[in-house]
Amino acid sequence: MQKNSSQGELGFNIDDNNTLSNRSVFTIDFTSEDLFGHHDAAYEEISLLQSYSVRRTDCQDFFDEKRQFMILCAPKGTGKTTICRLWQLDIDKKKNTISDVKFDTEVSPDLKDASLTQWIRAWKHQITKVIISGIDEKILPVVDIEQVVEISERKQNRRKRLFELLIENFNSVLGKNTKALTYEEQTNMLARLKEMSAYNIWIFLDEIDQYFTKEEYSIRKVGGMLLAARELTGHLSNLYLRTTIKPNVLAILLSKIDNISNIRELIVNLSWNDEGIRAILAKRVESYLERRGLYSKASDLFPIKEVALREEWLVSQVFSTSNFDLGKNNRPPHKILSVLSFRRPRWLLDLCKTVTSGVKDNSVRTISFDYVEGRLPDYGKDRMVDLTTEYGTQCPQLNLIIQGFRNRKSSYYYQELEDMVQANIASKINVEIVGVSVQCSGRQIIQFLFEIGFIEPVKYFKDKSYDVIHFDKSPNFIDEEGTIDANQPDYDLFWKIHPAFRNALFLTKPSKNNRK
């Protein structure tokens, strides 16, 4: 643990080989609320969100203005809301454009026992209502929304602009309210519609699946939204819809609603790697320094423009670069934090805030791994709650499965793992995984735990390097090579419980001389 004066005086210099070393230049307050910010972008002040968010350049299809309807698919906490909020800001800068972001409770239809067809209709009504309210709040109360939806569906009106349809069918969309309006009011309303006739409309529907369960109500609600959005954008040439969905929710919808398979080409998958996590951490520190008028000084003293080196230095202003590892080696802090956070920005920021809140010693200069390790039991419990909340709809017995590993080993050969899961979980409780089986085997349970990141296969090579296998890169790993126990010519294979959970589940640690 490195120590100096109060609350972390941090600095740097560069030696002749362009390596970094520390010297005191400015102070970072680890306890400051705006160092890492709010872990949920939906509640962050927009200017602050702008100042420390990392712009993604690899989601171009989602941003493509030639595509009217696109879906961003990613697990909870991976930055979907941030992307939508920042993209809306970019859209608002364009001429002849109106936009709005709506969350679940702000826009979802209030239906109970309704068919999928009724949900689709209700979603069309709600989305159209959002659009009309964006034109002029005075127009909304006098427009017959259902009539607008019907007009847009007529074959002769396909691919027209919404405002063009409203003007052409002005008396129809006003309906019984026509006589209640004066000639002047009607004239002003028409003038407003003509003024906006060339406008494009962008609507962002975020977290519609936040309360998703496997009940028919949820399936029809979220599935109805996707199908309604596709139909509306197919009817109206100036309507652009963007929405988000979690992979496990999408998997359930695909297994329950036939027509959902037709939207596969509209899906953009979002994920983060170690370099992306480093960029997130660096941007938070950079923003903190900028808001305190310190970053220009740091930039003058740190002239190197190479992005990776610059980001590593910024991260090192908060996290120690010495003895920072889950094992006996030393690795860059961002890589360890990336692993522990499952490469999810929200979990990353929660981990950082959890760790910094445990720093009670005012003389701590940078945060060592000891502080991180000390907070892992609480952090692991929170993540187990998150996993069961996120994936419990797909597997209602998930918490019981996770607890079945308590006080056991953290590392297994495959057959050893399958035997344990079969004997202690599958044979004792009836495990259902939606889209897989209503009574899953040990192997099916392991596949699911691999998919959600609770357990991961690790290849240890003869040169002492290793490779962690991730589901998103190798979804068929178990079928292809994951069940092989015998030592391979080039590597040994072990199945390990993710390190974020080991402390919380009181798992035995592998000995230093044994990878198991």
Whichever domain contains 123, its CATH number is: 3.40.50
Q: Do 181 and 308 belong to one domain?
A: no
Q: Does residue 193 sit within a domain?
A: yes
User: Are 20 and 133 in a shared domain?
Assistant: no
Rounded to the nearest 10 degrees, how much is the dihedral formed by the CA atoms of 212, 218, 219, 224?
-110
Q: Which of 269, 296, 330 is the last residue of a domain?
A: 269
Asked if residue 285 belongs to a domain, the reply is yes
Instruction: Please report whether residue 457 resides in a domain.
Output: yes
Evaluate if residue 476 carries a pLDDT over 80.
Answer: yes
What lies within 8 Å, CB to CB, of 322 at 6+ separation is 2, 330, 368
Q: Answer yes or no: do 13 and 102 share one domain.
A: no
Q: Within this chain, do residues 238 and 328 fall inside the same structural domain, yes or no? A: no
Question: Domain boundary at 361, 391, 421, which?
Answer: 391
pLDDT, residue 510, reads 62
Could you tell me the pTM of the whole model? 0.84
CB atoms within 10 A of CB 158: 12
3-state class (DSSP) for residue 96? coil
Q: Judge if 284 and 252 occupy the same domain.
A: no
- Using pLDDT thresholds of 50, 70 and 90, give the confidence band for residue 11: very low
d(CA 138, CA 119): 27
Query: Both 460 and 311 in a single domain?
Result: no
pLDDT category at 324 given cuts 50, 70, 90 is confident
Residue at 511 is within a domain? no
Mean pLDDT of 482-503: 81
Q: How far apart are CA 140 and CA 131, in angstroms?
A: 9
Return the structure tokens found at 153: 């569906």
Task: Please provide residue 313's backbone torsions phi and psi, each rounded to the nearest 5 degrees.
Answer: -65, -45
Q: How far apart are CA 20 and CA 485, in angstroms?
A: 43
Tens-place pLDDT, residues 237-287: 999 999 999 988 998 899 899 999 899 999 999 999 999 999 999 999 999
Q: How much is the mean pLDDT over the chain?
A: 85
> Is 315 within the bounds of a domain?
yes
Residue 163 pLDDT: 83
pLDDT of residue 303: 58
Assess whether 306 and 325 both reside in one domain: yes
**In terms of domains, do 279 and 385 share one?**
yes
Q: How far is residue 432 CA from its own chain's centroid?
A: 25
For residue 360, is it within any domain?
yes
CB atoms inside a 10 Å sphere around CB 44: 19
**Same-domain status, 239 and 278:** no
Alpha-carbon gap, residue 22 to 253, rounded angstroms: 53
- Residue 496: other Cβ atoms inside 10 A: 20
Judged on CB neighbours under 10 Å (0-12, 13-18, 19+), 318 is buried
- 145 domain-assigned: yes
Examine the pLDDT at 8 and tell me if it is beyond 60: no
Whether residue 229 sits in one domain with residue 84: yes
Q: What residue type is assigned to position 35 of the chain?
A: L
Same domain, yes or no: 278 and 373 = yes
In 3D space, the residue among 383, 417, 424 whose CA is nearest the CA of residue 400 turns out to be: 424
Q: Is 277 helix (H, G, I), strand (E, B) or coil?
A: helix
Q: Could you list the residue range(s) of the whole structural domain that residue 125 is in?
A: 57-269
For residue range 138-159, what is the model confidence (pLDDT) as tens digits? 677 778 888 889 998 887 777 8
CA distances from 459 to 275, 412, 495 (A): 22, 12, 9
Give the domain-ending residue among 391, 425, 459: 391
CA 263 to CA 241: how far, in whole Å? 13
| φ, ψ dihedrals at 137, nearest 5° | -60, -25
Residue 259 lies in a domain: yes
Any idea which residue has 């702000």 for tokens? Answer: 106
Question: Are 321 and 426 part of one and the same domain?
Answer: no
Residue 237 to residues 86, 231, 240, 241, 380: CA-CA distances in angstroms?
Answer: 24, 11, 8, 11, 48
65, burial (CB in 10 Å: exposed 0-12, middle 13-18, buried 19+): exposed
Is-contact 204 245, C-beta < 8 A?
no
Structural domain count, the chain: 3
Whether the per-residue pLDDT at 296 is higher than 80: the answer is no
pLDDT of residue 434: 85
